[in-house]
Structure 1
Amino acid sequence: MHRDTQPGTWTAVCAVEDIVPNTGVCALLQGEQVAVFRLNASGEQRVFAIGNYDPNSDAAVLSRGLIGNLGERIVVASPIYKHHFDLQTGECVEVPEHSVPTYPARIDGGKVWVGA
């Protein structure tokens, strides 16, 4: 469910330092809630963005979830029912039909940019 982007559709959502490492924040992007996560593993910083709405619990809470991994997958566990969402694909591991959209994300100039 990766959203295609056209050139020039990137939005700066916050400074990288505004997100505590290995946690997420919620950003409003063209009327959609997007969960943006900053990972700091082995000194490498990466950012991911997925839809914030958890269809399993019918609540916009994914940005508050716990980041971890299931094997090679980097996931966030929803704070309500603990379903895991792959941060690269948006797939809900336990209930794939309840997967969420992903958005391209990058760090540039000390800011987190998300494509819409």
Structure 2
Amino acid sequence: MKRLSSIFAGGRAEVPLKDNASGRPPATQMQLLLAAIDGATLVRRQPDTDGERFIVGCEALGGMFMHSREEVERRILAKFPQLPFDDVSAAARYLNDRIRAEIQLITQDRRRAHSWALGWVEER
């Protein structure tokens, strides 16, 4: 924690400086990265032969990009060069998990059975 010498008391008193306005220690780079991934926008694109495709919108990772594990790791390394590779891999897996959860929601909606007898009520 930084300290500031006070001009009062003849410069003998030291006052601790808070790291930020809340008084909490500053966030680590990994915490900032995970918060950015939490706030990222995921846009589903038309699936291709490899499966589902998503565009990720995340300013902390340089804006919008087509999702792939390699691209995510490359962008994290470029924007957060001080992170160890284990943390980079963990953050990339976290974004993959978010996308998998989004795919699961999509497939649940597709699998939902519609009764031919009751389907006309839902279509109104």
After TM superposition, is the score higher than 0.5?
no
- Answer with 1 or 2: which has the greater Rg: 2
Structure with more of its chain in helix, by fraction: 2
- The one of the two structures with greater contact order (alpha-carbon pairs below 8 A, sep at least 6) is 1
TM class by shorter chain equals under 0.3
- If the length of structure 2 is used for normalisation, what is the TM-score? 0.26
Structure with more of its chain in strand, by fraction: 1
